[in-house]
Amino acid sequence: MTGPAASDPVYRTDALIARDIDAWLELHRHKSMLRFITCGSVDDGKSTLIGRLLYDSKLIFEDQLAALEADSRRVGTQGEALDFALLVDGLAAEREQGITIDVAYRLFATEKRKFIVADTPGHEQYTRNMVTGASTADLAVILIDARKGVLTQTRRHSYLVHLLGIRTIVLAVNKMDLVDYDRTVFDSIVADYRDFADRIGIGAFVAIPISGFKGDNITEASANTPWYEGPALIHHLETVPIETDTDQARPFRMAVQWVNRPNLDFRGFAGQIASGVVRPGDAVRVLPSGKTSTVSRIVSLGGDLDQAVAGQSVTLCFADEIDCSRGDVIASASAPPQVADQFEATLVWMGEEALLPGRAYWLKLGTRTVSVTLQPPKYKVNVNTLDHLAAKTLELNAIGVAEITTDRPIVFEPYADSRTLGGFILIDKLTHATVAAGMLHFSLRRAQNVHWQALDISRDMRARQKGQTPRVLWFTGLSGSGKSTIANLVEKKLYSQGLHTFLLDGDNVRHGLNKDLGFTDADRIENIRRVGEVARLMTDAGLTVLTAFISPFRAEREMVRAMMADGEFIEVFVDTPIEVAEARDVKGLYAKARSGQLQNFTGIDSPYEAPEAPDIHIDTTVTGPDEAAEQIVRWIFDASG
Amino acid sequence: MPGLTHLERLEAESLHIMREVVAEARKPVMLYSVGKDSAVMLHLARKAFYPAPPPFPLLHVDTTWKFRDMYALRDRMAAESGMDLLVHRNPEAVERGINPFDHGPQHTDMWKTEGLKQALDLHGFDVAFGGARRDEEKSRAKERIVSFRTASHGWDPRRQRPELWSLYNVQKARGESLRVFPLSNWTELDIWQYIQLNDIPIVPLYFSAPRPTVIRDGLILMVDDDRFPLRLGEEPVMRSIRFRTLGCYPLTGAVQSEAATLPQIIREMLLATTSERQGRIIDKDAGDASMEKKKQEGYF
C-alpha cells in the first residue's frame, strides 16, 4: 500500500507545526473551503476513495486505525489490506448489508483548503440522496471503474449534477491498477464521456486516472502513469476556482430571515447575502413591496462593518423606516430581481406519495414559505436515456418539468443565475415531509403586470355592515352521513337569528360550477379547490357560508383552511360509521357502488380520511339532526362572544 | 475582494441555520454543555442575534458530576450573554443517587438521555440546538443539520428529511421535535482556531496545569472533589494534565501535557495520534454502533 510520506507537501506540515505553531496558524487562517460531491456506481470504489482522502490527510487516528485494521480482517473485502470503505460506511445497518443508505458528509483539509465531501450512494433508487448532496456542492467528482467504462449510472449521475447547476466536474477513472495503468483504456473512457458530456451540455471537465486503493494520482503524480501530465486529484481540488466566489460580482440580494428589534431605537434586518456586495450608503429596494431606502449600518458583534459580501450572514439597518419583514428580499435598488406567481420549474420528486396535481403544498424559497399548486407535469425525464416522457404525475425519484402557481407573488431569480433565489423545496402540508426539490426556469407572466383591483370597500366593512363575523362551516363526512340535512337545519336557525348565510351543497355544485369534473382523485381535489375559492369570495362578501361536501382528503380541507383568514374555517365532522351510512343508503348509492355500477365511491373503493381534530364533532349514532344543529349554532354564538 | 475563508463560510452557515430555525420554531432552546463546542455555539448565537440577546434560553442537562470549573464558567457565561439558564437534573437519578462509580452505563442513560428528554418535555421545547459535529463520530456524519425526532424523541436514520441547499424544513406536528446542529460542518481544528481568533472564554481544564489525578483502567482521572472513591492503595498524584473533551469528571480521561496556551493546545491536537472521543467511556459501551443506538433512544 502506498501512503504519503510525512513530508508530503499537500497535507499539514508537521515540521512547521512542531517548530512554529503561530506561523502555521497564521497560514491556516486564510484557507478557503470547497464543497464537493462524489458520485459513482455501487462498486466504483467511492467509499474507498473517500476513506483514502481521510487517511492521507491524517484524519485517521491510531485508535481509529486499530479499529479499522480489526474491522478489515473481520468484515473487509480487501483481504489483508486496509478496507478504507469501512471508515465511512457509518451506520450499523449499512455495515451489516455492505451498502450506503444515505448522504454522509465528510470533512478533511489540506494545507490550502478545507473540504466538505458529500458521499452519496450509487443505488438506482437513491436519486433523492444524490440531488441532496449535489445541491450544496461547488464541484462533482464522477467516478468510473476503469474496467467497466461509462455506465448508465455514470450518465445519470452526470445529468443530475449538471441539473443541479454544478459546472466544475472531475472525471476520476478509478481502479487503474486493475487495467495495468493502460493509457488506451483511459483515453477511450474519456472520449466516451466527452461524447455524452457534449450531449447534455457539460462544457469542460478534468479527467484523472487514479487508484483509490493503491493511491495513484491522489496526492501526487504516480510513477505508474508516466503518460498522464495533468494534476493529481488533491492538487486539482485545492487549486480549482470556487464557483460561489463569483457570486460577489452579481447584483446585491439578501433574503430577510429575521427582523431584529431589541428596543424601539434599533431595527435591523438579518440574513445571509445571496449575491453581490453591500456597503453603508448603498441604495436598496425591498421586494416584493418595491419600497426603497439606503443602508445606514452593517451591524456585527465585533463592531460595524465597512462592507459585506456574498456568503456572509449580516444584519443591515436602513436610513428610513420602511416595511420589511421575514421573507422579503433586500436588493440593489438599480438591479432588483423579478417578482412573479407563475413559473415553469424542474421538480425532483422525493416524497413516498406521488405528486398530486391541484393539491396545495408549501413552497419554501429563500426565507419565504407560500402555498403552491402544481399543474400535471409537461413531461418527465428518463434519466438514463434523457428522453422526455408523457406523465400525469411524478413518483419518488422521478424528475419532470411542470408549471407551478404560488398563492402570492414571490421574489425569485432563475436557478441558472442563483441557486439561493431559484432553488426551492416543496413540503407536504399534513405530514410536513420534504416531498420535492425544485429549480425555477422562468416566470410565465410577471405578477407586477397583474394589477389587483384596489377596492375601496373592505371585507371588514362588509362584515361590519352585516353585523357578523364571516365564517365557513365546512361539513365533511361519508355519503349519507347527514351533512346536507344538518347543514340545512343550521342555516334555517342562523337565518332566523338574522345572520346572512349561504349553503353550498355538493350535489348542486356538481350540476353547475363543477359539472365538468368526475370522481378521480384529481377531479375531487379540483372540486374542493373551486368550492373553497367560492366560499372565500363569499366570506369576503361578509357571509356565513355552509358547505356540505364529502371532501374525503385531509390535504384539501387543509388547503381550504389555508385560503381563509385565521379562525374563519370551522371543520364540522359529521361522523357516521360506514355500516350505518350504508344501511341508511338514502340515495341508493352504496348499493350501486357495491354492485360495481359506481366507481371511486368514498368508503367503498376510495378512501375517506377522517378529521383528526375537527372544530365540531357530531356523532350521528348518538346525536339526532336537530340536536346536532342546535349544538353547532350554540358553538357559533359562543365563538362570536 | 477575495472569497470567504473556511472559517468565514462556516460562521455564516451557522448563523443562517440559527436564525432560520428560530424564525420558524415555536419554543427553541440551546443545549449548553459548557465544553468548547458549546462555547463556540453560544458565541455564534450571540453574533446571530446581536444586538439583541439570543431569543432562547440555555439548558444544561446536569449530572451533578461535572467538573467544578465547568459549573463556574456556565454561570458566568449565562450572566454575560443575558440569557436565561435552565438547569435540569433527572429527579429519579437524584433520588437514587445515580453515579458513574456504582452504576456504569446507567449513569449516562439516566442523567443525560432520560434527563434531556424530561427537560424538553417539561418545558415543551420544540427545537433544541446541540453542538455536535460531523467529524466526531461515524453516525454523526449521516445526521442532518436539522434532525427530526418523533414524539418519543427517537431518531430514525431511514426517515430523515432530505436537506437541500440552505433550505431547512422546520415544520412538524405537535409533539414532534427537532434537534439542530449548527456546528455540523466544523472540525475540532476549526473550533480551536475560531476560539483563538475570537477570544472565546473556555473552561480552564482545557489548558494544562498540575492537578490531582489517579490512573485507573488505563485512563488518567482527575480527583475533582471528595466524592471520588479511592481504591485501596490509590493516592492522588499531582500531574501536569489537560482535557481534550469535557464530561463527567469520573468518566473523562486526561492527557499528560504541558500545553498551556491555545496555540500549544492546537499544536498538540495536530500532532496527536488518538481521536478526541477516545478519552470518553460513552462510545465503548456497545461496540461499533454505540452512538447510533444512543441517538435512536433519544441521546443527542
Three-state DSSP string of A333-382: CCCCCEEEEEEEEEEEECCCCCCCCCCEEEEEECCEEEEEEECCCCEEEC
Residue A313 annotated to the active site = no
- Test A350 with B171 for CB contact under 8 angstroms: no
- Test B139 with A90 for CB contact under 8 angstroms: yes
A497 shares its domain with A618: yes
Q: Residue A5 pLDDT more than 50?
A: no
| Three-state DSSP state, A154 | helix
- Test A270 with B49 for CB contact under 8 angstroms: yes
- Test A105 with B271 for CB contact under 8 angstroms: no
A473 shares its domain with A354: no
The x, y and z cell numbers of residue A192, run together, are 466516451
Beta strands A258-260 and A268-275 are antiparallel
Distance in angstroms between the alpha carbons of the first and the last residue of chain A: 81
* A563 appears as a binding residue in the annotation: no
What mean pLDDT, rounded, does chain A reach? 86
Query: Contact, A314 vs A244, CB < 8 A?
Result: no
A300 within domain boundaries: yes
A414 shares its domain with A473: no
Q: Which of B15, B185, B292 sits opposite A116 (nearest CB)?
A: B185
A317 shares its domain with A353: no
Mean pLDDT of A83-101: 57
| Three-state DSSP state, B211 | strand
Residues 6+ positions from A566 with CB-CB distance below 8 Å: none
Q: Residue B156 pLDDT more than 80?
A: no
- Tens digits of residue pLDDT in A148-167: 999 888 888 899 999 999 99
- Test B3 with A244 for CB contact under 8 angstroms: yes
Mean pLDDT of B70-95: 95
Residues within 8 A of B (CB atoms), A 291-350 only: 299-302, 307, 309, 311-313, 315, 326, 350
* A79 appears as a binding residue in the annotation: no
Q: Identify the band that residue A450 occupies on the pLDDT scale cut at 50, 70 and 90.
A: very low
Q: Which of B3, B5, B46 sits opposite A29 (nearest CB)?
A: B5
Domain count, chain A: 4
Find the residue in A nearest to B15 (Cα). Answer: A313
Find the residue in B nearest to A60 (Cα). Answer: B275
Residues within 8 A of B (CB atoms), A 356-385 only: 362, 364-365, 367
Query: Contact, B260 vs B295, CB < 8 A?
Result: no
Q: Identify the band that residue A80 occupies on the pLDDT scale cut at 50, 70 and 90.
A: low
For residue A402, the Cα-to-chain-centroid distance in whole angstroms is 15
CB atoms within 10 A of CB A518: 13
Residue at which a domain ends, from A387, A421, A449: A449
Residue in this structure with the C-alpha cell 494520482, named with its chain if needed:
A217
- In this structure, which amino acid lies at residue A420? T
CA B81 – CA B49 distance, rounded (Å): 11
Residue at which a domain ends, from A449, A481, A513: A449
Where are the domains positioned within chain B?
6-191, 203-288
Residue at which a domain ends, from A280, A297, A332: A332
A286 shares its domain with A158: no
Mutation target among B133, B135, B147, B165 for the A interface, most CBs of A within 10 A: B165
Phi, psi for B8 (deg, rounded to 5): -65, -40
* A366 appears as a binding residue in the annotation: no
What domain range includes position A401? 340-449
Distance in angstroms between the alpha carbons of the first and the last residue of chain B: 40
CATH number at residue A406: 2.40.30.10
Q: Residue A442 pLDDT more than 50?
A: yes
Query: Contact, A10 vs A90, CB < 8 A?
Result: no
CB atoms within 10 A of CB B230: 12
A629 within domain boundaries: yes
Residues within 8 A of A (CB atoms), B 185-204 only: 185, 187, 189-190, 193, 196-198
CA distance A64 to chain B (A): 7
A346 shares its domain with A307: no
- Tell me the range of A352-366, A382-396, B46-60 where mean pLDDT is highest: B46-60
Q: Residue A612 pLDDT more than 50?
A: yes
CA A532 – CA A557 distance, rounded (Å): 9
For residue A472, the Cα-to-chain-centroid distance in whole angstroms is 32
Q: Which pLDDT belongs to residue A439?
A: 97
A471 shares its domain with A381: no
* A31 appears as a binding residue in the annotation: no
Q: Which pLDDT belongs to residue A9?
A: 47
Residues within 8 A of B (CB atoms), A 253-282 only: 257-258, 260-262, 266, 268, 270-272, 277
A205 shares its domain with A76: yes
Q: Which pLDDT belongs to residue A77?
A: 62
- Residues paired with B129 in a beta bridge: B30, B180
Q: Which pLDDT belongs to residue A6?
A: 37
- Test A301 with B270 for CB contact under 8 angstroms: no
Kindly provide the ipTM of the predicted complex, given to two decimals: 0.90
A545: exposed, middle or buried (Cβ count in 10 Å: 0-12, 13-18, 19+): buried
A269 shares its domain with A380: no
Q: Identify the band that residue A34 occupies on the pLDDT scale cut at 50, 70 and 90.
A: very high
A422 within domain boundaries: yes
Element (DSSP H or E) covering residue A209: strand A205-209
Q: Identify the band that residue B283 occupies on the pLDDT scale cut at 50, 70 and 90.
A: very low
Residues within 8 A of B (CB atoms), A 134-163 only: 135-136
| Three-state DSSP state, B19 | helix
A135 within domain boundaries: yes
A159 shares its domain with A217: yes
- Test B267 with A18 for CB contact under 8 angstroms: yes
Mean pLDDT of B225-248: 90
| Three-state DSSP state, A302 | coil
- Tens digits of residue pLDDT in A285-296: 999 988 999 999
Query: Contact, A247 vs A311, CB < 8 A?
Result: yes
CATH number at residue A606: 3.40.50.300
Q: Residue B119 pLDDT more than 80?
A: yes
A2 within domain boundaries: no
Q: Identify the band that residue B279 occupies on the pLDDT scale cut at 50, 70 and 90.
A: low
Q: Which residue has the higher pLDDT, A521 or B146?
A: B146
CA A549 – CA A525 distance, rounded (Å): 12
Residues within 8 A of B (CB atoms), A 83-112 only: 88, 90-93, 95, 101-107, 109
CA distance B93 to chain A (A): 30
Query: Contact, B132 vs B102, CB < 8 A?
Result: no
A139 shares its domain with A116: yes
* A262 appears as a binding residue in the annotation: no
CA distance A495 to chain B (A): 38
- Whether chain A has a CB inside 8 Å of the CB on B160: the answer is yes
Q: Residue A85 pLDDT more than 70?
A: no
A380 within domain boundaries: yes
Burial per residue of A448-469, b for 16 or more beta-carbon CB atoms within 10 angstroms, e otherwise: eeeeeeeeeeeeeebbeeeebb
* A254 appears as a binding residue in the annotation: no
Determine whether domain B6-191 maps to CATH 3.30.70.1060: no
CA B117 – CA A315 distance, rounded (Å): 34
- Tens digits of residue pLDDT in A162-220: 999 999 999 999 999 999 999 999 999 999 999 999 988 998 899 999 998 888 999 88
CA distance A8 to chain B (A): 15
Instruction: Report the 3 state secondary structure along A541-596.
Output: CCCEEEEECCCCCHHHHHHHHHHCCCCCEEEEEEECCHHHHHHHCCCCHHHHHHCC
A9 within domain boundaries: no
- Tens digits of residue pLDDT in A280-333: 999 999 999 889 999 999 999 989 999 999 999 999 999 999 889 999 999 999
A270 shares its domain with A379: no
Query: Contact, A342 vs A443, CB < 8 A?
Result: yes
| Three-state DSSP state, A445 | strand
